[in-house]
Amino acid sequence: MITLADVFSEGGLFAQAMPGYRPRAQQVEMAEAVQRAIRDKKPLIAEAGTGTGKTYAYLVPALLSGGKVIVSTGTKTLQDQLFHRDLPKVRAALKVPVTTALLKGRANYVCRYHLERAMHEGRFARKEEVAQLHAIVRFAATSPDGDKSGCSAVPESSPVWQQAVSTRENCLGSDCPNYQDCFVLQARRQALDADVVVVNHHLFFADVWLKDEGAGELLPRCNTVIFDEAHQLPEVASLFFGETVSSGALLELARDSRAEALAAAKDFVHLPAAALALDKAVRDLRLVFGQDTLRAPQHALAENLEFHAALAVLDEALGALSERLADQAERSEGLENCRRRAAEQLSTLRLWISGAARGEQAANPMAEVASGEAAKPVRSKDPFDDAVFWLEVGAHGFQLNATPLDIARLFARQMSGERAWVFTSATLAMNGNFNHYAHEMGLWDAEQAAWESPFAYKQQAVLYVPQGLPDPNSRDYTAQVVEKALPLLKLSQGRAFLLFTSLRAMREAYDLLQARLPAMGLSYPLLLQGEGTRTELLERFRTLPNAVLVASQTFWEGIDVKGEQLQLVVIDKLPFAAPDDPVLAARIEKINKAGRNAFMEYQLPRAAITLKQGAGRLIRDEGDRGVLMIADPRLVEKPYGKRIWQALPPMRRTRELAVVEQFFRTAEHGQTPNTPQTPPAD
C-alpha cells in the first residue's frame, strides 16, 4: 500500500517522476489533513498559500483513497488544466489504475439535433456565420467528444454556437432523435464510470447538485467532493439556489415556440401569435429603461408605473403562451419541451412579482391571532421568504432575480450522505480566522487548517502604499493613482498589471497611460482588458517585452505569470463591494438587524480575501521578485486597515519611494534586497 511518505519524501515517487521536485512541509501536512477527512468522511476547510502545491496535496490522497471522487474547480480553464496536466502527472507518478473523466456543462458540447435544425432553417445572414456553421458540422462528424473547445475554426464567442448547442431549457432529453449519439450523454456516461471526475463549480451546482437529468447520479455515488478555488462558492451557490427569469430565455422560448408551431401545429394560428406577443412584451419591458443600465431591488421600482404596466403585460403574454402550448403539447416532443419551459418561466416570473408581499411577511414575522391569543412566529421553510428580489438591466436585456440571503442553511442541508467534503483555496481565511467563510457556507463543524506560502516574501516582494493620495471617492483619484504608478512603471520597465475595482476607472487609467507613457519617453506595449479574450491578452502579455496590462477584477484571480515578465502589480482601491448592490445591501441590513456588525463580520473579510487574490498575482514562483502597490490610503489611515494588510503575504512594507527604487536596483543586479522596513501606521 502506497503511503504519503512514499510519495512526498526525498527520493519518493514524486521525486522519481518529476525532475526538480522538492518536498515541502506545508504540502505534506495538507495531504495528511485531506487524507484524514476522506478517511473520517468529514468536512475540511483548508487554506494553502501560493506555492504550497495544494493541487497535488489533495490529488494524492484522493487517488489513493480507492473511492469515487468529484473535483470541482473555479473555471473551465482551471478544469482543463487540472484534467489535462496535473491529474495525468500525479496518476503516472503513483502508478495507480485510476480512471478519470472530464465533465462540462451541456453548452460546451455540440448538440446534433440543434445543429441539424440550424442547418435546415438557415437562420444566418452573414457569410462568415454560415461558414462557421459548416465548420461545426465537419467538427461534429469527426470529434470523439463534441467538446467545442476542440473546434479551433470557430471562435468560442461566435453567436453561431448558440444554435449548435443545447440548454437545460431546450434539451429534448430521451425524446431527442439523436439521444443515443448525444455528446452530453456520452460525457455523463464516462463520468459515471470514472473514479475521478473533474467538473467546475457552475456545473456542480447546475447539473450535479440540482439533479439535472443524468448527471444527478454522480453525487450519490461519490465518496469525496473536493472544491478547489472554494472562495468562489458563496457567490456561485447564491446564483444557483436563486431563481432568474431573463429576457434572453424568454425570447428564445418565443422563437422556439414559433419554430415548433410551424413544424408540428401549422393549423393552430393562435400559437405563433402568442409567441409573437411574448416577444413584443419582453422587448417593450426592456425599452422602459431606454439606454440606462441598472441593478436595483424590487422595492426601488415601486413608483415606476411604466415598468409595472410592462411587467403586467409580460405576465399576461407568458401566461397566454403557456396555455396555448398546453393545448398543443401532445403533437410533438418540441412543443412539449416548450410547454414545460413556459410553465417554469411563468412560475419564476410570478415568484418575482410576489416578492414584495414576501418581503413584507419576512419583515413582520409575528402574526397576531384574531382571537386575541399570543402571537406565534411564522416560520416558513421556503428559502424565498428570506430573499432579495431585484432587477438587472443590461445594454440589451434584463434579468428578474430572486436570491436567498442565507445560503448556509441551504448548503448545509444538501451536505448529506457519508462522504468527505474538502474546501480549499489560497484565500479563505482572514488572519487565520475562517469564521466568515464557515458561517457563510454553513460549515460550522468542519475541521479548519491553514498553511502559509513557502515563498520568502520578505526577500521577494515589497508592499508599497504611496503617500499623499486623496480619498478614494475623490473625482481625480484615478488620475492621482496613475501619477503615483508612473515612477514604478519606469523602475519595473513595464512588466506590470494595473488592476482596478471598476471598469470606469480602468478605462480612465488606460487613457491617461496612453498619453503619459510616451511623454516620459516610455514605449511600453499597453494592453486593455476587453481587447481580446483573457487567454489572448495573457499570451500577448507573456510574449511582448515590457508589456503593461490594464484590467479590472476579471484579472484578479486565476492568472499565473511567472518570472521576470511580471514585476509590478498596482491595485487602485480596497475591493469593497459596491454598497448599493441589491444582494449585498439586503445581507448587510439582515446582519445589522440581528444586532451584529455587518462591516466587520461580512464586508471586511470579503474585501480582504479579494485583495489577497489580487496580490497573489505578483509572486508565483520562488524565483519571482516584485512590488505590490496598493494605492488606497485607507489601508494605513483607517483602524481596519491593519487587519487587511496583516491578511496579505508577509512582504516588507513601506511608504517610501526610495525603498522601492532600491529594491528594483538590487533585484536588477541579482542581489537580495536588504533595505529597512518602514511599516504603515497601525
At 359 the pLDDT is 58
How far is residue 36's CA from residue 62's CA, in Å, rounded to a whole number?
A: 11
List the grid coordinates of 8.
512526498
pLDDT digits (tens, 9 = 90+) for 554-612: 898 888 899 999 999 999 999 998 878 999 999 999 999 999 999 999 999 999 999 99
Ranges 116-130, 194-208, 319-333, 443-457: which has the least confidence: 116-130
At 536 the pLDDT is 86
Cα–Cα distances (Å) from 146 to 108, 211, 445, in that order, read 8, 23, 42
Helix (H) or strand (E) holding 463: strand 461-464
At 578 the pLDDT is 85
List the grid coordinates of 115.
445543429
What's the whole-number mean pLDDT along residues 287-292? 93
Residue 303 reports pLDDT greater than 80: yes
At 371 the pLDDT is 35
Contacts of 265 (CB under 8 A, 6+ apart): 271, 328, 331, 332, 335
What's the whole-number mean pLDDT along residues 510-538? 93
- 401 has which bridge partners? 244, 390
How far is residue 82's CA from residue 486's CA, in Å, rounded to a whole number?
A: 38
At 393 the pLDDT is 96
Ranges 142-156, 251-265, 365-379: which has the least confidence: 365-379
Residue 239 reports pLDDT greater than 90: no
pLDDT classification of 1: cutoffs 50, 70, 90: confident
Ranges 212-221, 270-279, 549-558, 579-588: which has the least confidence: 212-221
pLDDT classification of 431: cutoffs 50, 70, 90: confident
Tell which phi-psi region holds residue 372, choosing left (phi > 0), alpha (psi between -120 and 50) or beta.
left
Residue 366 reports pLDDT greater than 60: no
pLDDT classification of 220: cutoffs 50, 70, 90: confident
Instruction: Select from 562, 570, 659, 561 the least CA-distant residue to 611.
Output: 570
Instruction: Select from 500, 577, 541 the least CA-distant residue to 234.
Output: 577
What's the whole-number mean pLDDT along residues 220-240? 91
Residue 680 reports pLDDT greater than 50: no
What's the whole-number mean pLDDT along residues 526-543? 90
- Higher pLDDT: 415 or 510? It is 510
What's the whole-number mean pLDDT along residues 150-156? 87
Residue 257 reports pLDDT greater than 70: yes
Q: Which span out of 154-158, 364-368, 644-648 was modeled with the highest average pLDDT?
A: 644-648
How far is residue 468's CA from residue 471's CA, in Å, rounded to a whole number?
A: 10
Cα–Cα distances (Å) from 604 to 9, 601, 667, in that order, read 40, 7, 34
At 101 the pLDDT is 95
- Higher pLDDT: 60 or 675? It is 60
Residue 323 reports pLDDT greater than 60: yes
Domains and CATH numbers, the chain: 4-99+194-240+406-451 (3.40.50.300), 106-183 (no CATH), 243-363 (1.20.120), 457-668 (3.40.50.300)
pLDDT classification of 666: cutoffs 50, 70, 90: confident
Cα–Cα distances (Å) from 454 to 52, 199, 206, 423, in that order, read 6, 29, 36, 20
pLDDT classification of 103: cutoffs 50, 70, 90: very high
The proportion of the chain whose per-residue pLDDT surpasses 90, expressed as a percent, equals 72
At 682 the pLDDT is 34
How far is residue 194's CA from residue 190's CA, in Å, rounded to a whole number?
A: 6
At 670 the pLDDT is 59
Ranges 175-179, 245-249, 506-510, 603-607: which has the least confidence: 175-179
At 377 the pLDDT is 34
pLDDT classification of 210: cutoffs 50, 70, 90: low
- Higher pLDDT: 67 or 172? It is 67
Residue 315 reports pLDDT greater than 60: yes
Residue 415 reports pLDDT greater than 90: no
What's the whole-number mean pLDDT along residues 319-344? 94
Residue 667 reports pLDDT greater than 90: no
Residue 459 reports pLDDT greater than 50: yes
At 372 the pLDDT is 37
Residues 163/165/170/175 CA torsion (nearest 10 deg)? 120
- 630 has which bridge partners? 571
What's the whole-number mean pLDDT along residues 168-176? 83
How far is residue 618's CA from residue 616's CA, in Å, rounded to a whole number?
A: 5
pLDDT digits (tens, 9 = 90+) for 109-137: 999 999 998 888 777 768 888 999 999 99
Residue 89 reports pLDDT greater than 90: yes
At 669 the pLDDT is 59
Look over the chain and give the mean of its residue pLDDT values, rounded to a whole number: 89
Helices (H) and strands (E) in the chain, counts: 30, 20
| Sole residue written with cell 492568472 | 559
Residue positions counted in the chain: 682
pLDDT classification of 363: cutoffs 50, 70, 90: low
